[in-house]
């Protein structure tokens, strides 16, 4: 019989402690190692479950969130799914506000988990599957309106430290434990920048020689100081071309990498075919970026990336064209 200590009281406690896999097949033709942390194995199939748990826990402790109060957040789907899980278990009504440009799976999943999903139309010149900064501004406006109307707690992933803390306290230390700290570089596709900043801070605290690189879409590399010529890229979950990310401490950034839609898509497909890892666009972007780094400045070194979410979230897109 299993020990009681092996049985978790809810899915919330199943968040985190994800495995790391050595991508030996993908890195076969390059010098160096790519270690991939499988965040799609979280209950909501993304790394964002971690920040949902931390933001709600922090707000309960600070008193910012009252028992039974409604929680609202702007989401590309993954944070909303995490919040739907955490709020559902803890008894907070949850409203997810999302652009209609994100894949339909996400809205269905949040709704199934008990969230009220409010979809916001994209700008007239935007394309489904390609959510721009302008589209996001419309979602932000709607989110603020709902928060005011319902006297809700805004689980603001762009502002609240819980986003950073989830990765600083958990994801980063897990990487150090799982690898023995024997890594050279971390690269991460930024949305809010919370994963990048939290992991990079923990890794550098452990060993200041570990470098961290921001990954951005080619044509929307605003953090690298480049002009934004392609805001409607395909890499869902980030690359919003927002110059100011409150959670992103620039002192943690050692360099910038750019990935095209085609590179992200091709690598997501390779992850599935060659490594048995069924992930989304941004995971493909992270691995593509790591591959480029190992071919150049970090030849022979070890890179770590997050596999941000599951490929199941993109079944309605052409990522998995057959």
Ligand X SMILES: Cc1ncc(COP(=O)(O)O)c(C=O)c1O
Pick the closer one to ligand X by CB: 69 or 316.
316
Shortest Cβ distance from residue 199 to ligand X (Å)? 9
| φ and ψ at residue 135, rounded to 5 degrees | -60, -40
Of the listed 282, 283, 310, 313, which one is catalytic?
282
Give the CB-nearest residue to ligand X: 237
C-beta closer to ligand X: residue 6 or 54:
54
Residue placing its CB nearer to ligand X in the complex, 42 or 46: 46
Of 196 and 230, nearer to ligand X (C-beta) is 196
For the bound state, the minimum distance from the C-beta of residue 191 to ligand X, rounded and expressed in Å, comes to 3
- Tokens 């897990």 sit on residue: 174
170: its two tokens: 């958990």
Instruction: Identify the three-state secondary structure at position 101.
Output: coil
Taking CA atoms, 55 is separated from 98, 163, 199, 200, in Å, by 19, 6, 16, 19
Least distance to ligand X, CB of residue 25, Å: 23
Cα(27)–Cα(141) distance, integer angstroms: 43
Residues lying near ligand X in the complex (CB under 6 A): 46, 48, 76, 78-79, 189-196, 237-238, 280, 282, 308-309
- By beta-carbon proximity to ligand X, the closer residue of 46 and 317 is 46
Q: Pull the structure tokens for residue 262.
A: 């085609």
Helix/strand/coil percent split, the chain, to 5 = 45, 15, 40
We find the least distance from the C-beta atom of residue 214 to ligand X, in angstroms, to be 9
Active-site hit among 27, 37, 46, 48: 48
Question: What is the spatial distance between Cα 260 and Cα 175, in angstroms, rounded to a whole number?
Answer: 27
The separation between CA 59 and the C-alpha centre of its own chain, rounded to angstroms, equals 21
48 part of the active site: yes
Q: How far is the CB of 198 from ligand X (least distance, A)?
A: 8
| Closest CB 7 distance from ligand X, rounded Å | 30
275 vs 309, beta carbon nearer ligand X? 309
Among residues 310, 272, 269, 268, the alpha carbon closest in space to that of 286 is found at 268
Bin 178: left if φ > 0, else alpha if -120 < ψ < 50, else beta: alpha
What are the beta bridge partners of residue 309? 46
Q: Which positions ≥6 away from 287 have C-beta within 8 Å?
A: 23, 26, 34, 36, 267, 270, 271, 305, 307
What residues are annotated to the active site?
Answer: 48, 282
């Amino acid at each position: 019989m299993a020990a009681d200590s092996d049985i978790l009281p809810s899915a919330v406690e199943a968040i985190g402690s994800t495995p790391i896999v050595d991508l030996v097949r993908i890195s076969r033709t390059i010098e160096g190692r790519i270690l991939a942390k499988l965040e799609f194995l979280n209950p909501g199939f993304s790394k964002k479950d971690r920040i949902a748990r931390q933001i709600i826990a922090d707000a309960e402790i600070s008193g910012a969130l009252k028992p039974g109060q409604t929680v609202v957040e702007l989401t590309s789907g993954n944070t909303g799914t995490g919040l739907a899980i955490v709020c559902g278990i803890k008894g907070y009504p949850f409203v997810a506000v999302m652009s209609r440009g994100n894949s339909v799976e996400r809205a269905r999943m949040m709704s199934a988990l008990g969230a009220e999903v409010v979809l916001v139309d994209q700008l007239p010149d935007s394309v489904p599957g390609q959510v721009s900064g302008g589209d996001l501004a419309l979602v932000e406006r709607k989110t603020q309106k709902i928060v005011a109307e319902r006297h809700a707690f805004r689980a603001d992933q762009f502002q609240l430290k819980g986003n950073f803390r989830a990765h600083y306290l958990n994801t980063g230390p897990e990487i150090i434990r799982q690898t023995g700290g024997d890594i050279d570089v971390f690269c991460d596709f930024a949305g809010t920048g919370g994963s990048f900043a939290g992991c990079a801070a923990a890794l550098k605290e452990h060993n200041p020689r570990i470098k961290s690189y921001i990954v951005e879409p080619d044509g929307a590399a605003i953090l690298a100081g480049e002009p934004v010529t392609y805001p409607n890229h395909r890499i869902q979950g980030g690359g919003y071309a927002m110059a100011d990310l409150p959670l992103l401490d620039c002192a943690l950034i050692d360099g910038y990498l750019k990935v095209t839609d085609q590179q992200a898509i091709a690598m997501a497909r390779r992850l599935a075919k060659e490594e048995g890892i069924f992930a989304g666009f941004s995971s493909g972007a992270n691995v593509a970026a790591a591959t480029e780094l190992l071919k150049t400045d970090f030849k022979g070194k070890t890179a770590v990336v997050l596999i941000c979410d599951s490929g199941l979230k993109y079944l309605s897109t052409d990522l998995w064209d057959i």
